[in-house]
Structure 1
Amino acid sequence: METSLVFFSHLNMCESKEKTFFKLMHCTGKEETSKEVKIRAKDKRNRLSRLLQKAELHEEAHSSSTGPLAKETSVSPEEAMKWGESFDKLLSHRDGLDAFTKFLKTEFSEENIEFWIACEDFKKNKEPQQIILKAKAIYEKFIQNDAPQEVNLDFHTKEIITKGMDHPTLQSFDAAQSRVYQLMEQDSYTRFLKSDIYLNLIEGRPKRPTNLRRRSRSFTYNEFQDVKSDVAIWL
């Protein structure tokens, strides 16, 4: 009889161990699932943060580009009219250059005018060391592949500039600057003359908000919906 009791006690101990093992595995699974949820939630938070930052940057660009230019400058309609005579006259006037830069920001192509200005400034250098340092800075900012403000240049022009970076001269960017100038004159300048930024100046009207011409793909509606569906996880 005692043997039977020991035998059944042994069975109960095995059963207890099995239940304990099952519970342990079950809890581990829950912990892993919880970790996965937290990881997904963190990823969603990061994605939403990046999307909101992009949206804020676009709003800031739009706000700065549509500021009251007429109040910041003393440009008369007669003076602004002269900017329509030639692209050179526009760029040679400080307020004209400022207005054109604001317009390019609405098209997210301000790198063109900034490169042109950088080249104009670069050609004023006299010291060899300054020429080398500024040439490298211009190359890294506007010319090299994946540069932060890379301008649109053909392969041949970029290759010549790249090869000349070992011994840069004041003429190192002449071909590229000329190319960018032509692009702005033939494309952006003609649109600028039809823009609200310019028309408001020549008509002496208060500046109205200017619509962005090119929309950057910050996020799509479906992506936002996907993020929104998981907001409850973070709160």
Structure 2
Amino acid sequence: METTLLLCSQLNMCESKEKTFFKLIHGSGKEETSKEAKIRAKEKRNRLSLLVQKLEFHEDTHSSRWGHLAKETRVSPEEAVKWGESFEKLLSRRDGLEAFTRFLKTEFSEENIEFWIACEDFKKSKEPQQIHLKAKAIYEKFIQTDAPQEVNLDFHTKEVITKSITQPTLHCFDAAQSRVYQLMEQDSYTRFLKSDIYLDLIEGRPKRPTNLRRRSRSFTCNEFQDVKSDVAIWL
């Protein structure tokens, strides 16, 4: 009987030591719950703070973009009237270029102005690799037979470009660009001056929505890899 009591006492002592050891290592359940609650509360505050910052940043950026856009698209009738003085003046102004491009899209001939823009950007190239990559992209998009936005060029001009494209220079598209420029000046420009797009501008009327049956793939140098471009300033 005494032996049984002794064993029970030893078991109780072992159990008590184990509980004490467990508490020392892991802490009490209340302490653990309290720590977890504090951690969760801190994480929640951090998330809310980040969310507020993102919302404020988005709002500022959105307002800035819309303000910038509104400023860019506000063309005075006096400014628009100057575009009628010459085709050169029209293309020298960013708003004029944008309005003329919009007009060409209604006639499904925007490839002409996009080719001209691409050539202007190409002539700013400096590094040999940049010249080669841009020339190849322009040729494949606008010049070669069945190009996605093939411009209207005579056989001789296209042949000269085709022969020079393997070793292009900054002037390899000059003849073609001049030809397209003359075509736009003598044909499209005269119709633009009579179009609703231009008449609305010189009379100060709001821009009308334009319904198009196909979408233009505007020329950008994103089609090249590792090539920097200034073409964005034209559009």
What range describes the TM-score normalised by the shorter chain of this pair?
0.5 to 0.7
- Separation in 1, partners of 2:166, 2:95: 37
- Deviation by residue 1:197-220 (Cα, 9 ceiling, x = unmatched): 0000000012345677xx89xxxx
Task: Compare CA radii of gyration and give the structure with the larger one.
Answer: 2
- Separation in 2, partners of 1:163, 1:87: 31
What secondary structure, in the 3-state scheme, does the structure 1 residue paired with 2:96 have? helix
Q: Is the 8 A contact 2:72 2:95 kept in 1?
A: no
- Separation in 2, partners of 1:130, 1:70: 34
Counterpart in the other structure of 1:84: 84
- Separation in 1, partners of 2:98, 2:211: 18
Counterpart in the other structure of 1:31: none
Question: Counterpart amino acid of 2:113?
Answer: I
- Separation in 2, partners of 1:71, 1:123: 29
Question: Counterpart amino acid of 1:174?
Answer: D
- Deviation by residue 1:38-93 (Cα, 9 ceiling, x = unmatched): xxxxxxxxxxxxxxxxxxxxxxxxxxxxxxx9986121000000000000000000
Shift of 1:165: 0.8
| Segments of 4+ moved more than 4 angstroms | 69-72, 209-212
Please report the TM-score for the alignment, with normalisation by the length of structure 2.
Answer: 0.59
Task: Work out whether 1:123 is the aligned partner of 2:123.
Answer: yes
Superposed, which structure 2 residues align to 1:1-235 within 5 Å? 73-209=73-209
Give the total of aligned pairs. 146
Please report the TM-score for the alignment, with normalisation by the length of structure 1.
Answer: 0.59
What secondary structure, in the 3-state scheme, does the structure 2 residue paired with 1:166 have? coil
Rate the CA distance shift 1:196–1:72 in 2: closer, same or farther, 3 A: farther
- Deviation by residue 1:90-116 (Cα, 9 ceiling, x = unmatched): 000000000000000000000000000
Shift of 1:185: 0.2
Question: Counterpart amino acid of 1:165?
Answer: I
The gaps in structure 1 that reach 5 residues or longer are 1-68, 217-235
- Separation in 2, partners of 1:180, 1:72: 27
- Separation in 1, partners of 2:206, 2:183: 30
What secondary structure, in the 3-state scheme, does the structure 1 residue paired with 2:204 have? coil
- Separation in 1, partners of 2:152, 2:160: 15
Q: Is the 8 A contact 1:100 1:192 kept in 2?
A: yes
Question: Counterpart amino acid of 2:188?
Answer: S
Percent of pairs with identical residues: 88
Q: Is the 8 A contact 1:70 1:206 kept in 2?
A: no
Shift of 1:166: 1.4
- Separation in 1, partners of 2:115, 2:166: 20
- Separation in 1, partners of 2:143, 2:174: 13
Q: Is the 8 A contact 1:196 1:210 kept in 2?
A: no
Report the RMSD for the aligned CA atoms in angstroms.
Answer: 1.9
- Separation in 2, partners of 1:205, 1:179: 34
Question: Counterpart amino acid of 2:90?
Answer: L
- Separation in 2, partners of 1:137, 1:99: 26
Greater relative contact order (CA < 8 Å, ≥ 6 in sequence): 1
